Amino acid sequence: MIVLVINSGSSSLKYQIFDMKEEQLLAKGLVDRIGISGSSLTHQPLNKEALVVKEDIENHNQAIELTVKALTHQQQGVIKEMNEIDAIGHRVAHGGDRFADSTVISDEVSNKIAMLFDVAPLHNPPALMGIEACARMLPKVTQVAVFDTAFHQSIPEKAYIYALPYEISKKYSLRRYGFHGTSHKYVAQKAAEFLQKDISALKLITCHLGNGASIAAVNGGKSVDTSMGFTPLEGLVMGTRVGDIDPASLLFLMEKENMNIEEMNSFLNKKCGVLGISGLSSDFRDLEEAAKNGEHRCQLALDIFAYRVKKYIGAYSAVMNGVDGIIFTAGLGENSPTIRQAITEDLGYLGAELDHEKNNRRGEKEISKQGSRCKILVIPTNEELMIARDTFRLVKTS
Ligand code: AMP
């Protein structure tokens, strides 16, 4: 079965295509600057040269048309004709409390995704544009929606209800949803495979540390708490997002700096995090370099970032009454020994002991010392493969 995976943003569309017989990635690509001048498609087939197309791409319909052309291209194509695509899996950021699993897309599902525009104004509209564009181009192909929030629907009420008046929480469906669920689920499953244990018997803490960062407590394969909340702004310090903060400080700042709601929203999402603390960059590579050269605010940004992750690890160990494995993933989690060390220093009380040599070796999966009661693992995430797997599973049974 050939599965096309689509991750559709407001001005970009990423895709990967898999042959699910061996879970083999055939090609991946990016349509960039949709609706903006200078748009292009970059198509990278496996073991072949890349194809770059530079032309005006005005909307998601054209982006999908171009994607199909690249996939069926005479030289750089990976399928002969578009009929070979058996199913399409879409990444959808927000499923609200309506979707606890991936689902085959129908008109009703599309309507429900649209009803969540209010809570995910940046992410759900482009996802639906991608879905509609595929439906127009490939009307006979089954489409599946895979939600970033679905994995966290197992979180109990005591962890997802905020201390607002209950009727207000219900009226607006204002609660913790959590994000990066596809990634947390994937690395938790991979960790269980690596440890050769049944996931139902494991207490894991998964740390998805990229430009956006979140952490989850996964007990017996189910998410029981996570740091992102109603939106992806809560929780850890991120590249440019503020994470946890006293809500009263926002009111204080709005008054002092004369900011309206839109300005405050943009400030919290784009000007804060390690960028705001350091004043230099949201990229941890820049911060690590500058910190080595004695830049105090860059070192401080790294310290605050690691400290927040460490606090959550403590909290989630308490929530689960112990932890068998701490897993690092995403850009920073997979690539920065410095940050992993800062986070896992002094976790002896959990029986988690970092092996410094392994931590500094690229490609090492287990970075805890031999005999460490709690394992520390580095597991590259693969959200696209997870989406392809869910799509394959649902299409097989539908
Ligand atoms: P992601 O959002 O998962 O793509 O992660 C992107 C972030 O990972 C970048 O902003 C970098 O800060 C971080 N990153 C990637 N590679 C490295 C590295 N070798 N060392 C430190 N940070 C890295």
- Four-CA torsion 262, 265, 271, 275, nearest 10 degrees: -170
User: Are 210 and 355 found together in one domain?
Assistant: yes
Token duo for residue 96: 């609200």
The distance of Cα 38 from the centroid of its chain, to the nearest Å, equals: 27
User: Are 141 and 211 found together in one domain?
Assistant: no
Mutation to probe ligand 1, out of 284, 288, 361 (largest number of atoms < 8 A from CB):
284
Ligand 1 pocket by Cβ (under 6 Å): 210-211, 239, 283-285, 288, 330-332, 335-336
In a domain, 184, yes or no: no
User: Are 236 and 356 found together in one domain?
Assistant: yes
Region for 258 from its dihedrals, namely left if φ exceeds 0, alpha if ψ lies in -120 to 50, beta otherwise = left
The DSSP call for residue 207 is E
In a domain, 140, yes or no: yes
Q: How far is the CA of 103 from the centre of ligand 1 (A)?
A: 31
Instruction: Tell which of 107, 128, 147 closes a domain.
Output: 147
User: Are 232 and 136 found together in one domain?
Assistant: no
pLDDT computed for residue 182 by the predictor: 96
- Are the CB atoms for 80 and 72 separated by under 8 Å? yes
For 306-359, the DSSP string reads HHHHHHHHHHHHHHHTS-SEEEEEHHHHHH-HHHHHHHHTT-GGGTB-B-HHHH
User: Which atom of ligand 1 has the smallest separation from the CA of 286?
Assistant: 12
User: Are 269 and 207 found together in one domain?
Assistant: yes
* Annotated binding-site residue? 175: no
- Are the CB atoms for 378 and 333 separated by under 8 Å? yes
In a domain, 128, yes or no: yes
Token duo for residue 317: 């160990």
Strand pairing category for 325-329 and 375-378: parallel
User: Are 235 and 304 found together in one domain?
Assistant: yes
CA–CA gap between residue 396 and residue 233 (Å, rounded) = 36
Instruction: Tell which of 112, 147, 182 closes a domain.
Output: 147
Per residue in 252-284, pLDDT tens?
999 999 999 999 999 999 999 999 999 999 999
User: Are 241 and 306 found together in one domain?
Assistant: yes
Side-by-side strand order, sheet with 87-92: 51-54, 40-45, 24-32, 13-19, 2-8, 87-92, 142-147, 103-104
Beta partners for residue 147, in sequence order: 92
pLDDT computed for residue 119 by the predictor: 84
In a domain, 168, yes or no: no
User: Which atom of ligand 1 has the smallest separation from the CA of 330?
Assistant: 3
Smallest CA-to-CA distance from 310 within 346, 260, 276 is with: 346
In a domain, 224, yes or no: yes
User: Are 242 and 328 found together in one domain?
Assistant: yes
**Which stretches of the chain drop beneath a pLDDT of 70?**
none
Region for 23 from its dihedrals, namely left if φ exceeds 0, alpha if ψ lies in -120 to 50, beta otherwise = left
For 168-199, the DSSP string reads HHHHHT-S---S-HHHHHHHHHHHHHHHTS-G
Domain count, the chain: 2
User: Are 344 and 281 found together in one domain?
Assistant: yes
Distances (CA, A) of 371 to 108, 217, 279, 366, 375: 52, 23, 41, 11, 9
Q: Specify the CATH number for the domain of residue 133.
A: 3.30.420.40
In a domain, 165, yes or no: no
pTM: 0.94
Burial 35-52 (b: 16+ CB within 10 A, else e): eeeebebebbbeeeeebe
In a domain, 392, yes or no: no
CA–CA gap between residue 154 and residue 161 (Å, rounded) = 13
In a domain, 226, yes or no: yes
* Annotated binding-site residue? 331: yes
pLDDT computed for residue 101 by the predictor: 95
Instruction: Tell which of 131, 147, 163 closes a domain.
Output: 147
Residue 364: give the domain boundaries.
197-378
Ligand 1, atom 9: closest residue by C-alpha: 283
User: Are 293 and 360 found together in one domain?
Assistant: yes
pLDDT computed for residue 266 by the predictor: 92
Residues, the chain, total? 398
Per residue in 186-237, pLDDT tens?
999 999 999 999 999 999 999 999 989 999 999 999 999 999 999 999 999 9
User: Are 132 and 251 found together in one domain?
Assistant: no
Distances (CA, A) of 388 to 65, 84, 228: 20, 15, 24
User: Are 140 and 213 found together in one domain?
Assistant: no
Token duo for residue 73: 């291209």
Q: How far is the CA of 113 from the centre of ligand 1 (A)?
A: 30
- Are the CB atoms for 101 and 18 separated by under 8 Å? no
For helices 296-320 and 284-292, what crossing angle results, to 10°? 120
Q: How far is the CA of 218 from the centre of ligand 1 (A)?
A: 24
